[in-house]
C-alpha cells in the first residue's frame, strides 16, 4: 500500500503539518527538555557558548589587535548581536543534517508528516535564540546602549527570514545526508568556513568595495545585518533585506521540493 503522503500536493502537505501542530509543539518541548534534563547548568548552556566566544573575540580584537573603526561600538554588543543568530543558524543546519536518521524509529512507526522532524529542529533552536536575548539585553543595559524604534519590526522580520531560510536548508539537507552520508562531514567543514565568510565578527560595510558584493550576495550576511540594525541602525538596507527574503523563499521552495521528491527513497534507507 502506497503512503498517501508521497502524492500530497504542497498545500495538502501544509494542511497536514498544520493538523499535527499540537504534536509538533510537544516535540519541540520535548527537545528542549531533553537538552537540559541531565544538565546542572540547564538554560545557562544556551548562552554560554556564544557568550564565551564573543568575549574571546572581543578580547582578541580590542586588546591584542586594536580596532580603530567606528560604528561598531561597543564591540562586545556588536559581537553578541551577530553571534546569537549565528548560533541558531549553525546549530540548526548541523542538526537538520541528522534529523531523519536520529528519529528513524519514530518516522517509521508514525504517520506524521515527515517534514515535522526537520521543522522541530528549526523551532527548538529558534526558542533557544529567544532564550538568549536577555543576555544581549543585559549587555545593552550595562553599556548604556540605546535601542532604536526600528527594532520593533527589524528583529521580528529578521527572525522570520532566518526561519524560512533554515527550513529550506534543513529540508534539503535532511534527505540528502541520508542518501549521501559523507555530506555530514562536508556540512561540518562548510559551517566552520562559513562562519568567517559571514559578517559575525565584522560588518560588510567595512569591506573593500570590490569584494563587498560577494558578502552581500550571501543572504545570511544580510540577515545578520538586519538582526543588528535595531542596535546599529546604519546597517539597515531595505534592498538587502528584500534580496535576503526572496532568496530565503526560493531556498524554502527548493528544499521542500527536494524533500518531497526524495522522501520515498529516503524512507527505504532509514
pLDDT of residue 64: 53
pLDDT at 173 over 80: yes
Per-residue pLDDT tens over the stretch 223-262? 999 999 989 998 899 999 999 999 999 999 999 999 999 9
The C-alpha cell at 96 is: 537538520
pLDDT at 11 over 60: yes
For the chain, what is the total number of helices (H) and then of strands (E)? Answer: 12, 0
* Least-confidence region, from 98-107, 123-132, 158-167, 206-215: 206-215
Q: What angle do CA 158, 59, 49 make, to 5 degrees?
A: 50
Q: Answer whether 0.75 is exceeded by the pTM.
A: yes
* Domain ranges for the chain: 7-269
User: Of 212, 24, 255, 206, nearest to 119 (Cα)?
Assistant: 24
pLDDT at 2 over 50: no
* Long-range contact set of residues 201-207: C-beta below 8 Å, sequence gap at least 24: 201/57, 201/61, 201/79, 201/82, 203/71, 203/72, 203/78, 203/228, 203/235, 205/71, 205/234, 205/235, 206/69, 206/72
Amino acid at each position: 500500500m502506497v503512503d498517501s503522503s508521497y502524492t500530497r500536493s504542497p498545500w495538502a502537505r501544509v494542511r497536514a503539518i498544520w493538523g499535527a501542530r499540537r504534536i509538533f509543539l510537544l516535540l519541540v518541548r520535548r527537545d528542549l527538555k531533553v537538552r537540559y534534563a541531565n544538565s546542572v547548568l540547564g538554560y545557562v548552556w544556551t548562552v554560554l557558548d556564544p557568550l564565551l566566544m564573543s568575549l574571546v573575540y572581543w578580547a582578541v580584537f580590542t586588546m591584542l589587535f586594536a580596532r580603530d573603526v567606528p560604528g561598531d561600538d561597543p564591540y562586545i554588543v556588536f559581537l553578541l548581536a551577530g553571534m546569537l543568530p549565528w548560533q541558531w543558524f549553525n546549530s540548526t543546519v548541523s542538526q537538520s543534517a541528522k534529523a531523519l536518521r536520529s528519529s528513524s524509529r519514530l518516522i517509521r512507526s508514525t504517520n506524521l508528516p515527515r517534514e515535522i522532524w526537520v521543522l522541530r529542529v528549526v523551532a527548538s533552536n529558534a526558542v533557544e535564540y529567544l532564550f538568549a536575548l536577555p543576555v544581549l539585553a543585559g549587555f545593552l543595559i550595562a553599556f548604556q546602549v540605546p535601542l532604536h524604534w526600528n527594532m520593533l519590526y527589524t528583529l521580528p522580520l529578521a527572525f522570520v527570514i532566518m526561519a524560512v531560510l533554515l527550513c529550506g536548508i534543513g529540508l534539503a539537507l535532511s534527505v540528502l545526508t541520508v542518501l549521501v552520508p559523507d555530506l555530514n562531514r562536508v556540512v561540518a567543514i562548510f559551517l566552520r568556513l562559513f562562519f568567517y565568510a559571514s559578517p559575525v565578527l565584522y560588518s560588510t560595510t567595512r569591506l573593500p568595495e570590490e569584494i563587498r558584493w560577494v558578502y552581500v550576495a550571501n543572504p545570511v550576511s544580510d540577515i545578520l545585518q538586519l538582526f543588528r540594525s535595531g542596535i546599529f541602525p546604519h546597517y539597515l538596507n531595505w534592498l538587502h533585506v528584500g534580496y535576503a527574503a526572496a532568496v530565503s523563499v526560493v531556498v524554502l521552495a527548493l528544499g521542500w521540493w527536494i524533500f518531497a521528491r526524495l522522501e520515498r527513497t529516503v524512507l527505504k534507507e532509514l
